[in-house]
Amino acid sequence: MQVRSLPDPLRTEHRGEHMSMALQEQLGKLRETGPRAVTFLNEVWTEMKKVHFPTRKETYAATLVVVVVTILVAAFLGVVDFAVSHLVQAILS
């Protein structure tokens, strides 16, 4: 069985070729990135035009609904907790 060693990265025989190919590959990726970024930003701008931002009145109404529902749920859970704790106390006594 033969064991091969890994190539030495510091060896200069083929180092220039690999560096050149890697550099060309990176430059190719960089050239693709510019137009893709512009396309992405154009699409973002188009979608942002479609967004409906609520008015102050709509925000106030939605906030009021959230607060009222939160209070109602908290009251319901408080009553259920009170009833269950008294039921458990009655069973254990």
Q: Report residue 66 CA to chain centroid gap.
A: 25
CA distances from 33 to 29, 37, 38, 48, 91 (A): 6, 6, 9, 22, 70
Q: Which of 90, 71, 92, 72 is nearest to 82 (CA)?
A: 90
Close Cβ partners of 54 (under 8 Å, ≥ 6 residues apart): 62
Is the pLDDT confidence value at 30 over 90? no
The pairs formed by 42-46 with CB atoms below 8 angstroms and a separation of 24 or more are none
Is the pLDDT confidence value at 7 over 70? no
Give the tens place of pLDDT for each residue, 31-72: 777 888 889 999 999 999 999 999 999 999 999 999 999 999
* Residue 45 structure tokens: 């701008």
Whole-model pTM: value is 0.49
- Average pLDDT in the 66-86 region? 98
